A and B are shown apart, each in its own frame.
Chain A
Amino acid sequence: MSFWRRAACALLLLVVVVSLAANWLAPAGYAKQYREAAGAPPSHEHWLGTDEIGRDRFARVLYGTRVSLLLAPAAALLSTLLAALIGGLAGYLGGAWAKGAMAVTDLFLSLPWLFLLITVRALMPLNVSPVVSVTVTFLMLGLLGWTSAARVLCSTAGSLRDSDFVRQARASGIRGVRLFWVHVVPNLKPVLYAQFWISIPAFILSEANLGILGLGVAEPLPSWGSLLKELEGLVSIGEEPWKFIPLLLLVVVVTSFQLVLSKPDEAAA
């Protein structure tokens, strides 16, 4: 493992641990308003200042990081499972099943990802509680993000279906779900792991995009998307540079994921 990959892993671990410790590091919580200090710059009491309604930005960044970093992997897990179920099973069954599944996949892939997300998210009720909004946002990412992985899994499962060991298993009387579960799925694991890890940064970025467009996690619950929405009111970068801290953190985390996922020679470069 190269130095950069190790550093990226350590950084990700640090961010996760710090965000999990949000309750201790920012005991006042993300919603408490300091009305006498609304829109205040960084100070001893508020390390990253306060937002326009007086909430501590440091606390919001910590809690927002926790929301994004815990739920993006959950959505990635859901999309990976769906990809395994739809793509893997279609590839294993072959014939009309594979053609039908790939037609549906092509339909999803023919629409730009952000267009699809915005359309589907806008169809859900927008005026909902923060918990419902966060569930809807990440559930939607998981339910729509399986398509490209399903293609890869369909072709992998298709090649496994005709492999010698599967034929041998079939000849010895193993059929149906057991054959798929015991002999095909274990061989899909490398693709599934790769898909899971690739999906996490993609979902983090998608949530951020939705949040900025006002279709992400509802207030007062923070997420990276809703924190980045603050940039909308900026007149110049030099005016309030601390507002860029969530963006910096997001870039660092997504870059770390990219480094962890990159091939060893790319990471070294």
Chain B
Amino acid sequence: MLERKIARHGFALIATALLGGLFSATLVRLAPGFDSDEAQLDPHLNSQSIQALQQRRAEQHNIIRFYFDSLQRAVSGDLGTSISLGQPVSTLLRERLPLTLRMVGLALLLSWAAVLALALSAAWARNGAYDALATVISGTLLCIPAAVLALLSVLWNVPGALAVALIIFPRDYRYARNLLAKAYSLPHIITARAKGLSEWRILFWHVIPVAGPQLLAVGGVSVSLAAGAAIPVEALCGLAGVGQLAWQAALARDLPLLMNITVLVTLVTLLANSGADVIGHMWRGQQA
């Protein structure tokens, strides 16, 4: 049963990632001005060089053929060359991925530490004013555009990871608070509280088994949120990560780079969601 679920997730993951790549490649190909290349305006180039540039563009005209050729090359480790930066895409990704992974990982850690601390303390305190204060803080953060938080992080000289954490915190907090509040209102947990069980025992024995799989699913979604938040933070804070690379690729209409980043982002998002789903499924299976 579990193997079938994992296989189904794996198939959906690969199919969606491939479709995501095709989708981005098609969009770039159809975009106005695709055929123009600034390099052709260089007065130092002779007619042969300009013809070579035109031929390179012409190879990308049939989008399906171009996409499948790229896939074939990708299997052997060649992800193509960035048109705007003139470097192999694999090199660019290898150079920039560690920074983004570190930032996103730290942001998720910070955000979830804050989410769990606030949501649990609100559930334990059972104080309307405290809960309202936590809701107001997360609600206010939710109303500030991600790019403004990125700008403020530059202004206050705050690390990018904290900016990403502040962007994803309010979204996660809302779900986590509601899930924990729902779990704490279950009859058997109210009974356990009435019988005087310690809050930690209630949390680990009664609340986490109920709310855990759903919290895990929210955790999976927050990876996607963090990946999205990395774009404005890296672009505006001048951090040389994949988010900034995506931004530069989009502005320069760099087809190979944009296509590879889309596949990478889709894969990361789907892996996080599928991973959370499969672990949640295993967790529920163990309980049953």
Contacts and interface: CB of A to CB of B under 8 A. Distances in A.
- What secondary structure prevails in chain B residues at the interface with A? helix
16 contacts: A110-B17, A110-B270, A111-B269, A114-B146, A114-B228, A123-B31, A201-B143, A208-B147, A209-B145, A212-B232, A231-B155, A232-B236, A251-B140, A254-B142, A266-B135, A269-B135
Interface in B26-49: 27-28, 30-33
B145 A236 contact: no
A200 to B, nearest CB: 13
A205 B139 CA distance: 14
Contacts of A213: 147, 232, 235-236, 247
A157 B228 CA distance: 31
Contact of A251 (B144, B228, B232, B247): B144
B186 interface: no
Contacts of A119: 24, 27, 246, 250, 258, 262
Given A107-B23, A114-B231, A213-B235, A123 B147 contact: no
- What secondary structure prevails in chain A residues at the interface with B? helix
A120 interface: yes
B151 interface: yes
Nearest to A247: B148
Interface string B138-164: 011011111110011001000000000
Interface string B7-19: 0000010001101
Interface of B: 12, 16-17, 19-20, 23-24, 27-28, 30-33, 128, 131-132, 135, 139-140, 142-148, 151-152, 155, 224-225, 227-229, 231-232, 235-236, 246-247, 250-251, 253, 258, 262, 265-266, 269-270, 273
Contacts of B250: 118-119, 121-123
Interface of A: 103, 106-107, 110-115, 118-126, 201, 205, 208-209, 212-213, 228, 231-232, 234-237, 247, 250-251, 254-255, 258, 266, 269
Contacts of B228: 112-115
Given A110-B270, A111-B262, A254 B143 contact: yes
In order of increasing CB-CB distance, the 4 nearest A-B pairs are A112-B228, A122-B250, A123-B31, A212-B147
A112 B227 contact: yes
A107 B232 CA distance: 22
B145 A111 contact: no
B145 A107 contact: no
A255 B32 contact: no
Nearest to A106: B16
A119 B260 CA distance: 13
